[in-house]
Amino acid sequence: MSAQEAVQRPLPNYLQFVFGGLAGMGATMIVQPFDVAKTRMQLSQATQGARAPGPFQVLRGIVVHEGAAKLYAGLSAGLFRQVTYTTTRLGVYGVLLEELTRYRRTQTSAGAEVQCRDDALPFSWKAVAGLTAGAIGALVGTPAEVALIRMMADGRLAPERRRNYRSVFDALFRIVREEGVLTLWRGALPTVGRAALLNMAQLGTYSQAKEMILNTGLIGDHLGTHMLASTLSGFAATCVSLPLDNAKTKLQQMQGREYRGMLEALVKTSRTEGVRALWRGFLPYFLRLTPHTIGAFVLLEQLKRLYEHHRSSL
């Protein structure tokens, strides 16, 4: 088989999911401390007139008062979340792009069919594919998300209120036993809403930015292109999804019935802490999301290239 024939063949559907999960897990290992800082900042409420601590102050405080190991609190849940959420969202997105590309090719003439590639899809198609993939992935990944939030936030609670989960599986089993199976999907609405918006911005922007960069002809399809497109993607996703992420975090961490739903969490936060509080934790969220986006997409691109190189040699 020639290299050209190998590249033209689409990636098998099962590998879209496998490569997506591996890329997400690798990126999570890098950015977990910033995710911990972001969660702690979202759950803290600044006292009247007091300045809320910044992300690096939060990280330093964790190291000083709890130990450096706590920077990776909830890592098992974070990795399990990638196995569920990222495997699903990136896999579904890849499959949707392939199907949309196939559909678009059927609408072209025979002469134009050869030039029609997945990056020639309109941005609106990519955005809808990202939104759909994010929503499906969030439904699958919400239980791991609930466990992750609780494990990362445990250190800020009074000792008598800490849950002290030993692992993500201990957290999942105890939540079901003590609070009921539906608690695993607590905050599912804001989780799905956030994921849909985040992936619409993240996946759609990445595909579109990569296409626009390549169309300039200034740089080729290599690491620099992937990193630049990922950075733009991470910034767009941060701006769009952070308010819902704040609401989701508060719903999943609450003890009792402090909020009845996503809308109440958003409204109460705006009234009691100000509208800017909806974007509290912007810097650690951006520092967590953008490197994760870069790492995930770079790893995903490299895994695809490795597969194509191996396939072309068969």
pTM to 2 decimals?
Answer: 0.74
Sorting pLDDT into bands at 50, 70 and 90, what band is 221? confident
Sorting pLDDT into bands at 50, 70 and 90, what band is 229? very high
Q: In the prediction, which pLDDT does 47 show?
A: 45
Cα-based angle 183, 188, 191 (whole degrees, multiple of 5): 135
Is residue 112 a contact partner of residue 153, using CB atoms and an 8 Å limit? no
pLDDT, tens digit (0-9, with 9 covering 90-100), for 300-314: 999 998 898 887 665
| C-alpha to C-alpha distance for 78 and 30, rounded to whole angstroms | 11
The single-letter code of the amino acid at 54 is G
| C-alpha to C-alpha distance for 282 and 95, rounded to whole angstroms | 31
Q: In the prediction, which pLDDT does 9 show?
A: 64
Q: In the prediction, which pLDDT does 110 show?
A: 47
pLDDT, tens digit (0-9, with 9 covering 90-100), for 107-149: 765 444 444 444 478 999 999 999 999 999 999 999 988 888 8
Compute the mean pLDDT over every residue in the chain, rounded to the nearest whole number.
Answer: 84
pLDDT, tens digit (0-9, with 9 covering 90-100), for 11-41: 888 999 999 999 999 999 888 888 888 778 8
Does pLDDT of 169 surpass 50? yes
Residue numbers of the domain that contains 32: 3-312
- Quote the number of domains for the chain: 1
Sorting pLDDT into bands at 50, 70 and 90, what band is 249? confident
Torsion angle in degrees (nearest 10) through CA of 294, 295, 298, 300: -120
| 221 phi and psi angles, rounded to 5 deg | -85, 80
Of the candidates 247, 139, 131, the one whose C-alpha atom is nearest the C-alpha of residue 198 is 131
| C-alpha to C-alpha distance for 120 and 126, rounded to whole angstroms | 10
Is residue 87 a contact partner of residue 24, using CB atoms and an 8 Å limit? yes
| C-alpha to C-alpha distance for 269 and 259, rounded to whole angstroms | 10
Does pLDDT of 10 surpass 90? no
Of the candidates 201, 39, 181, 73, the one whose C-alpha atom is nearest the C-alpha of residue 133 is 201
| C-alpha to C-alpha distance for 244 and 99, rounded to whole angstroms | 30
Q: In the prediction, which pLDDT does 108 show?
A: 63
Helices 13-43 and 55-66, interaxial angle, to 10°? Answer: 80
The set of residues, in sequence order, having a beta carbon less than 8 Å from that of 229 and lying 6+ positions away, is 205, 206, 209, 210, 213, 297
Q: 25: domain CATH number?
A: 1.50.40.10
Does pLDDT of 202 surpass 70? yes
Q: In the prediction, which pLDDT does 118 show?
A: 45
